[in-house]
Chain A
Amino acid sequence: MKRRIFQIIGLILPNSYFKVIATKVIYRGQLKGICAPLFNCYACPLATISCPIGTLQHFMAIAKVPYYLIGYLGLIGLAVGRMACGWICPFGFFQDLMAKIKTKKFRFPSYLGYLKYVALVLLAIIVPFLTHEHWFSKLCPWGALEASIPWGLWNPSDPGFLSLTPANAPIRDLLGGSYYLKLGILAGFLGLMLFFKRPFCFLACPLGAIFSLFNRISIIRLGVDTEACTKCNKCLRNCPAGLKVYENPNSINCIRCLECTKCDKVKLYSIFGKQPMTRDKKSEADF
């Protein structure tokens, strides 16, 4: 319940520019200089802040090093790993709600979790650098749901996007092939959400890929009492990412939602504090 409250705040706070209803122009003021550590589209009509992945692509497209973004995401990742994914990400929240649809849920093989690094390196770094265009954003399913569909339905003229020309034409006249492609990708992920928990976070989220690099070295980590654990899979049943926590408590796919800590064999601990349980041996060895 506490996590739901944070997720609702994570959805509403970055999307509270209600003035757009009167102006029909996207907010492009100084607050858009702030990247929230969550997946929220810059182009959403209500957006007040920037998406870190949109920012990363923007810097790549103009061939500049995003020092601010690296430092900012590095500090957050070092403190809490992927916790933002589990607690405040609006797309994660949406996928959690979709997972409530009663269908049989399957698990991805763990190696598919590395696909998100391909999405990060290829679509958010290399291709924008080479083509000077925001290719991940052009394909982003959350961008489709939060921005493309609302703007397409609303269809105002000149809503303030730098990337749309001629600027004074109705949006619908300017939407090209990539618009329909991203709608198709959204449809694909919506289909996956019926049978898998958080498929986008597991397979394709570049922000999750960045934070996941810190899961094993962050200040707070998960530990499993391996001697007491009976592998009853209570953690798997509670996990919104569909993970067997006892196999690898600080896996790259763990979103640190802490639902698994409902089992008393799984505990959150800090490297500065007393460690209450047997530590995650794999993580210790890697660190």
Chain B
Amino acid sequence: MRANCWYGKRDVRVEQVPDPKILNRRDAIVKISSTAICGSDLHLYNGFMPTMEQGDILGHEFMGEIVEVGPDVKDRKVGDRVVVSFPISCGNCFFCQQELYSLCENSNPNAWMAEKLFGHSPCGIYGYSHLTGGFAGGQAEYARVPFADVGTLKVPAGMTDEQVLFLSDIFPTGYMGAELCDIKPGDTVAVWGCGPVGQFAMASARLLGAERVVGIDRFPERLAMARAGAGASDTINYEERNTYDALMELTGGRGPDACVDAVGLEAHGGHGLVYAYDRVKQALMAETDRPIALREAIMACRNGGTVSVIGVYGGLIDKFPMGSFMNRSLTMRTGQCHVQRYWKKLLGHIERGEIDPGFVITHRMALDEAPQGFDLFSNKEDDCIKIVLKP
């Protein structure tokens, strides 16, 4: 089959690789109909995630048709059209039973690697370094899906790929980012980063009853999408205005009730010197992540408010404003999304026409064009926000 493989920093290639096979009794093989490039794939592409090996197949947002099932798959059969969740979850362990699927204790065969870096291991993830298991990803013609009963969602007849593809990751991730804010009617929620996850966090904050939703970014096309697609009431271009000042003006100096960091470890912005400081420290490996958005979110959040972190971090950050965080009774909630906890509910929102997740798609390409897609997306060229690949 053809698959998009990682070969090094800014070097991905579509190559001929062997077809996947059933390795465990609860596996299924999915023939992929649509797959996407995630913002978090860019962290791999730009070389910020350790434990990548040359030849690793990338991709964790995909869907398609089941073409083979292992002997212990119970509720899925050949021919089922399914979306695949990016967390690989067994469904049996302590965490899966609490619906904390991205914390599955059994799905990461390289848990020892993650323990060295994180203290404890999260779940296995497709195409997302060896730290999360070394599973082949879904930017390919076929993929092996472990624990298929837990990790796939059946797609109702009549729904298009583009309506449901993002249930694999970014829609539930954005939704969880908003849910972690514990939104009450009348709340103001500010979202750092108007990439696809930020867009879904804003749309979800609306679904959950936020009265005012503020999108923060530096690309005009993303801010426009926030207003037109995600329902943001206000947007801030941080290259034109100081984010903190703008938020204080909007909220009468109190600050947003909740702040969502949908940016993660490769943040831009802040004071020019602060950005330069973090960029240099990151280049020297003195800190692995640039927490510019996170620092701003903490400083801006109202007293007693919640900071929700769904942007991906991989290691250590510097100059964390602990004094602000502690003295003002803030709460931080975070996590890789527990996709399977949300996707049925979100499918309901889509079926009822309350949201059409396809609004984030700006580019459709063939799988073979994945390398150009990564380049385009990474450089934010051609107003690129979300790329869907067709194998």
Asked if A and B are interacting partners, one says no
B interface residues (Cβ-Cβ under 8 A, vs A): none
